[in-house]
Structure 1
Amino acid sequence: MKNIITSILLFLSISIFSQSKIQQENLIDLTESKCLDKKDISNAEMRNCTIQATQSWDKELNKYYDLLQNKLPKETFQALKESQKQWMIFRDKEFAFISKFYFELKEGTMLYIIAENRKKEIVKNRTLELKMYFENLDY
């Protein structure tokens, strides 16, 4: 009986911790969702919501990059710096392709929203990678 109660308490604490962590990580996504949930929102406004989210993810990316710069040994940070330079090259080339594909090859204002969302996901994913590296420093 004691083991069952302990297991239930452990499960509940993990569940509560996970939910608060998810909410914290998704503040940018929640803000974007609120922006997109406006009544009678135009495609241009939807696109701007996603562009703002991308900019917020980029700020978070820079925050974690700076935090890692201050915490990592110099040699390790140099490896991250080179990796980040290469990622930025990838990002810029991918953004150029996305723009050509969705803005030139295809037609329709809804596709602009899809393009901006794709760009946002690229920045978001890199941000979450850097955040994970930073958080793993404490383990």
Structure 2
Amino acid sequence: MRKLLIAGLLLLGATVFAGNYENELTERMKAAEEKAQAEWDSGVRANMVNASLDLDKEWEKEMNKVYDLILKKLPAKEQSKFKAEQSKWLKDREIKVQKAYDKYTEEEGPRMAGELAANERLDITKNRVLELAKKYDGLNKSK
């Protein structure tokens, strides 16, 4: 009886937490985002740019984690399609960031362009990670 109860509780726990990767990710990233916010609030341009770059690196790490998790869930045929999609997304991100930098250089000057382009890259990366987290949650719900 006790073993059955424990097994039931484990199954219930797995069911409750399945599909919550996005929530767990958002929770994990709170500390990094709070740290970045403190640097953005400092008003020191170098700190602000570095905060955006550092936070982007953290989101990039999370993207790699969820990307690998998704790959493990996908059948072989879908894996190559997903890899191609991610590769295209990475190229598109760099193009978007470069266009943003060029635009900001023209509009705001080169000093502000780096900061604004770093923020643009951060937003693009964060949005992709959250998109992948939703995809992973969807894969877990469908199984």
Question: Given that residues 49 and 114 in structure 2 are in contact (C-alpha distance below 8 angstroms), is that contact kept between their aligned partners in structure 1?
Answer: yes
Question: Given that residues 61 and 130 in structure 1 are in contact (C-alpha distance below 8 angstroms), is that contact kept between their aligned partners in structure 2?
Answer: yes
Structure number with the higher helix fraction is 2
Partner of 2:72: 70
Partner of 2:135: 133
RMSD: 2.5
Partner of 2:92: 90
Q: Cα–Cα, structure 1 residues 133 and 52, in superposed 2: closer, same or farther, change >3 Å?
A: same
Q: How many angstroms does 1:28 deviate by?
A: 2.8
Amino acid at match of 1:138: N
Secondary structure class of the residue paired with 2:114? helix
Secondary structure class of the residue paired with 1:25? helix
Distance in 1, matches of 2:99 and 2:76, equals 34
Matched, 1:35 2:54: no
Distance in 1, matches of 2:25 and 2:133, equals 12
Q: Which runs of 5+ in 2 are unaligned?
A: 1-16
Which is further off, 110-119 or 82-91?
110-119
Q: Which runs of 5+ in 1 are unaligned?
A: 1-16
Q: Cα–Cα, structure 1 residues 99 and 110, in superposed 2: closer, same or farther, change >3 Å?
A: closer
**May I ask how many residue pairs the two structures share in their alignment?**
120
Question: Given that residues 71 and 79 in structure 2 are in contact (C-alpha distance below 8 angstroms), is that contact kept between their aligned partners in structure 1?
Answer: yes
Q: Cα–Cα, structure 1 residues 123 and 46, in superposed 2: closer, same or farther, change >3 Å?
A: same
**Cα deviation code 1:53-100 (max 9, x no counterpart):** 111111111111111111110111111111111111211111111221
TM (normalized to structure 1)?
0.72
**Cα deviation code 1:101-120 (max 9, x no counterpart):** 22355226445332211110
Partner of 2:108: 106
Amino acid at match of 1:36: Q
Q: How many angstroms does 1:40 deviate by?
A: 4.4
